[in-house]
Amino acid sequence: MDEALLRSLTPGVLGILVRRGADFAAAEDAVQDALVEAVRVWPEDPPRDAKGWLVTVAWRRFLDATRADTARRRREDLVEEEPAAGPASAVDDTLRLYFLCAHPSLTPSSAVALTLRAVGGLTTRQIARAYLVPEATMAQRISRAKRTVSGVRFDRPGDVATVLRVLYLVFNEGYSGDVDLAAEAIRLTRQLAARVDHPEVAGLLALMLLHHARRAARTAADGSLVPLAEQDRSRWDTASIPEGVAILQAALARDRLGEFQAQAAVAALHADAPSAEDTDWVQIVEWYDELVRLTDNPVVRLNRAVAVGEADGPRAGLTALAALDDSLPRHTAAAAYLHERDGDLATAARLYAEAAHKAPDLAERDHLTRQAARLNARLGR
């Protein structure tokens, strides 16, 4: 079973059902039913037209649900006129669905969660991890969002800022998670940048390109993580970096700074440095100051503390870190790194081991465990 194929077809199938008149919540349920049926049937009897098969099955499931639900009698005209079977539309509805999911009746956080689940192809667990909340909490949030839009026609595009947030989270999951969605997020952001003249859209595209340019160097041959300072910069994508920098410079020239432009500026400074030692950490701290002003995000403050440790020394970084909540994700790992930089190897080894227990995925856990083992070996433990 080709799960990547199913994931790539889902937005198009969902878009067809919505265009035929199904409300979003019912259409999403029907598509999920069709995907489950595909997993059951396709290994033994693969269809010639995978998308057409999914559309047919999903539409029939939607009609079955419509017939069974007396509260939806207003859609009886849809039941009477099932469209004839045939090749599915080749129209790419993905970006349109992103906008429709940013519905005015939903809060931005609920709209993002619903889009990630229904269109982005992420699991509830992955979305919960992106939001730093328990999986059960996120499942309830998605269910509430679906109830809110049940029976609502998605015929008005939503907020660009919400769509940008969704694309950013999809890219992050694709960049660091266990489902590769980064290229799809870049493709959709390019589409958005071609349609919407806004510096933050350009800022997000630049940020994605600059991060994606380093992707090949982020892991070793055995799959282990390679920290930025240790990456082989000859493996970076030399085409994406100048493209990202040019897009960013054009956006910054419009003097309407937003968080994605500021994040892209940090990424550009990393990409522009010929070596880790040549990184302009003072300027990176200044951009993090702008990000703090724009977002007041605790994770941004954490990253700023590490940057301060590079620019002004590890003691200054530890002082900045001490002002933050130590329950923040990766707080312990940051403290371990700064203590190692300060020469306190025993404390750093202990903190690396603690951070490994808190790591969100296996690759990060293995990396932190190796850091602890490396320092313990130096200490003769």
- Which tens digits make up the pLDDT trace of 100-141? 777 777 777 777 788 778 777 778 887 887 777 888 888 888
> Which residues neighbour 125 within 8 Å (Cβ) at sequence distance 6 or greater?
135
Q: Could you give phi then psi for residue 219, rounded to 5 degrees?
A: -130, 150
- Rounded Cα distance between 63 and 142, Å, is 23
pLDDT of 314: 97
Residues 84, 141: contact at Cβ < 8 Å?
Answer: no
| 24: nearest Cα among 154, 167, 169, 183 | 154
pLDDT of amino acid 115: 78
Place of tokens 């190796």: 370
Q: Is pLDDT above 80 for 152? A: no
Predicted confidence band at 88 (pLDDT cuts at 50, 70, 90)? very low
Answer for the pair 356, 344: CB distance below 8 angstroms, yes or no. Answer: no
User: For residue 131, which of 159, 90, 99, 172 has the smallest C-alpha distance?
Assistant: 172
What pLDDT band is residue 5 in, cutting at 50, 70 and 90? confident
Residue 51 and residue 185: Cα distance in Å, rounded?
Answer: 21
Q: How far apart are CA 325 and CA 335, in angstroms?
A: 12
Place of tokens 């990060």: 364
Model's pTM, two decimal places? Answer: 0.75
**Other residues' Cβ atoms within 10 Å of the Cβ of residue 32:** 16
User: pLDDT tens digit string along 318-350?
Assistant: 999 999 999 998 999 999 999 999 999 999 999
Cβ atoms of residues 140 and 146 within 8 Å: no
- Conformation bin of residue 296: beta by default, left when phi > 0, alpha when psi is -120 to 50: left
What kind and span of H or E run contains 186?
Answer: helix 182-195
What mean pLDDT comes out for the span 55-59? 93
Mean of the pLDDT values across residues 181-204?
90
- The predicted model gives 42-57 an average pLDDT of 91
**Amino acid, single-letter form, for residue 308:** V
Kindly tell me if the per-residue pLDDT of 89 is higher than 50.
Answer: no
| Residue percentage of the chain with pLDDT more than 90 | 52
Query: How many angstroms separate the CA atoms of 142 and 148, rounded?
Result: 10
What number of residues does the chain have? Answer: 381
Sign of the dihedral through C-alpha 118, 119, 123, 129? negative
pLDDT for residue 75 = 45
Query: Rounded to the nearest 10 degrees, what angle do helices 298-312 and 314-322 cross at?
Result: 160
